[in-house]
Structure 1
Amino acid sequence: MKKACFCGTFDPVTQGHLDLIQRATRLFDEVVVVIGVNSDKHTMFPLDQRKKWLEESLKDLCHVTVQARAGLATEICKEIKANVLIRGVRNGVDLEYEKNMAAMNHLLDPSIETVILLASEDKMHCSSSNVREFLRYNRDVSQMVPACVAKDLKEGGKA
């Protein structure tokens, strides 16, 4: 059985994240979405909110679970018995960063394979940092995030 892990902060989850996860389910028997817990990283949304949004957005996908974990991606993969680490790239800058991370992860654990999925063309602009920037300027983000996120942001006065 091929089990894959997709790690990120998902601050917030975007349509781009969902696209990658949906596509990964066609490649792997099980996909574990891991919200990385990093005490040094300042997020806009609390962990429990990000987890709720992911679970709601992914509820119709079979064989996908959501967890929050601290630690290095390779350590998380080992803990959950995943042999593949999924990464997504939108552009050349992302690719260079992910190539370096894949090399570092291979040094840490050569048994974990990194699989890089290219963002779908219509989702290349969907990054959490773009969403947060739009929110800072009270711009509509509903096209970039799942419906549950857009609804909560609207009700909370952020969108």
Structure 2
Amino acid sequence: MPTAIFCGAFDPVTKGHIDLIERASTLFDHLYVFVAPNSEKHQVFSAERRLAWLKQACMAYPNVSCRIQKGLTVDAARSVHAKYLIRGMRNSQDFEYELNMATMNRSIDDHLETICLFTKPEHMFCSSSNVRELLRYHLDISAFVPDCVRRDLEGGTHEDIE
């Protein structure tokens, strides 16, 4: 049966990410979630910390494994013999970005099929960058992140994002 991957910075992982993971886990025999590097962004939290959050948040999904990605998305897919790449879309800006990435990935590996899942309305404004902005101002992030992230960051000074 098919295997899929879901790659992202997850800086930090949000409830929107977890919703996509949960939904994708019902579509595939196995879903690998990769903490991916992004050369266009500066990650605030270490890859190891983001991986730990993902592992905790995904414990309820027995067919989901979490790893740190090295290299390109197509390399991550090949490393686990996945033929499907899951991506989430919240708005038209995401569409433009995802179309570009799907086309590029397909040009590198024409066996990798991108499947986009639309976000649920309650997660449309839930992004890692929004969470980081709330953290900068010491505001409550509990509506946007899994409990494991909230607990880890709660009460901290969040110096790593200032």
How much has 1:46 moved relative to structure 2?
Answer: 1.2
Instruction: Say whether residues 1:117 and 2:139 are aligned partners.
Output: no
Structure 1 pair 40/104, CA: closer, same or farther in 2 (3 Å)?
Answer: closer
**Worse-matched range after superposition: 30-39 or 79-88:** 30-39
Alpha-carbon shift at residue 114 of structure 1 (Å): 0.3
Aligned-partner Cα distance in 2 for 1:137–1:90: 25
* Aligned 8 A contact 1:38 1:70 in 2: no
What is the aligned partner in structure 2 of residue 139 from structure 1?
139
Q: Deviations over 1:99-126 (max 9, x none)?
A: 1111111111110100000001111111
Q: Give the alignment's Cα RMSD to 1 decimal.
A: 1.3
How far apart, CA to CA, are the structure 2 residues paired with 1:109 and 1:38?
Answer: 19
SS at match of 2:68: strand
1:15 deviates by 0.1
Give TM-score, length-normalised by structure 2. 0.93
Unaligned ranges ≥5, structure 2: none
Identity, % of aligned positions: 46
Aligned-residue offset at 1:25: 0.9
Distance 2:51 2:155 in 1: 18
Structure 1 Cα separation of the partners of residues 28 and 121 of structure 2 = 22
Structure-1 residue corresponding to 2:26: 26
Residue 139 of structure 1 aligns with an amino acid whose one-letter code is: L
- Any conservation in 2 of the 1:36–1:68 contact (CA below 8 Å)? yes
Shift in Å, 1:38? 4.8
Residue 59 of structure 1: aligned partner: 59
Equivalent residue number for residue 75 of structure 1: 75
What does the per-residue CA deviation read over 1:55-85, in whole Å, with 9 as the maximum and x for residues that have no partner? 0000111110000021111111011111101
Q: Whole-Å Cα distance in 2 between the matches of residues 120 and 58 of structure 1? A: 18
TM superposition score normalised by structure 1: 0.94
4+ residue runs of structure 1 moved beyond 6 angstroms?
none
Q: Which residue of 1 aligns with 2:48?
A: 48
Shift in Å at residue 39 of structure 1?
A: 6.8
Count matched residues.
158
Amino acid at match of 1:19: D
Q: Which residue of 1 aligns with 2:97?
A: 97
Give the residue type in structure 2 aligned to 1:17.
H
Equivalent residue, structure 2, for 1:148 = 148
